């Protein structure tokens, strides 16, 4: 009656193999979520900057000047350059070393962003 030691060892080995497969996939999924939140915040920043431009006729480099805009938890947004004709920004997340970049108008390309309005991450 009951299980033999060999049967129990086989079950433990199978569970270990499944865990070895699942854990890296879970970590990759978390990083994708962090990158997604950075991209989302950069898109929202673009909307807020355009709204500010409509009201003030120039872009701002102050996040506090953008009405009711705040980044997601853990995401740090930095507006690197803001002029009357364009702006650039960087997003970073405390849980991942990757950063995302975006620029509009005549602002200098930043990081890996080489195409205006296209968010790139590295």
Q: What is the pLDDT of residues 57-105, one digit of tens each?
A: 999 999 999 988 899 999 999 999 999 899 999 999 999 999 999 999 9
pLDDT of amino acid 113? 94
Task: Give the SS3 label for residue 106.
Answer: coil
**SS3 of 93, please?**
strand
Question: What is the C-alpha separation between 13 and 32, in angstroms, rounded?
Answer: 30
Considering only CA atoms, which of 48, 72, 73 is closest in space to residue 61?
48
pLDDT confidence of residue 67: 82
Looking at residue 65, its pLDDT comes to 92
pLDDT greater than 90 at residue 2: no
Please list, in sequence order, all residues whose beta carbon lies within 8 angstroms of the beta carbon of residue 71, skipping any fewer than 6 positions away.
Answer: 41, 45, 63, 77, 91
Tens digit of pLDDT for each residue in 12-61? 999 999 999 998 888 788 899 999 999 999 999 999 999 999 999 999 99
Q: What is the pLDDT of residue 38?
A: 97
For the segment 104-120, what is each residue's pLDDT rounded down to a tens digit?
Answer: 999 999 999 999 999 99
Contact 23, 48 (CB under 8 A): no
Please name the residue ranges forming H helices in the chain. 5-56
pTM above 0.85? no
* Structural contact between residues 28 and 110, judged by C-beta atoms closer than 8 angstroms: no
**Which pLDDT does position 98 carry in this prediction?**
95
């Amino acid at each position: 009656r009951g299980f033999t030691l060999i049967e129990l060892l086989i079950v433990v080995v199978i569970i270990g193999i499944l865990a070895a497969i699942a854990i890296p996939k879970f970590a990759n999924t978390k990083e994708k979520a962090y990158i997604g939140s950075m991209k989302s915040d950069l898109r929202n920043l673009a909307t807020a900057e355009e709204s500010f431009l409509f009201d003030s006729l120039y872009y701002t480099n102050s996040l506090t000047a953008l009405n009711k805009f705040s980044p997601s938890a853990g995401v740090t947004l930095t507006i690197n350059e803001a002029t009357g004709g364009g702006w650039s920004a960087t997003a970073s997340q405390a849980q991942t070393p990757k950063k995302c970049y975006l620029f509009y108008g005549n602002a200098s390309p930043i990081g890996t962003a080489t195409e205006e309005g296209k968010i790139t991450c590295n």
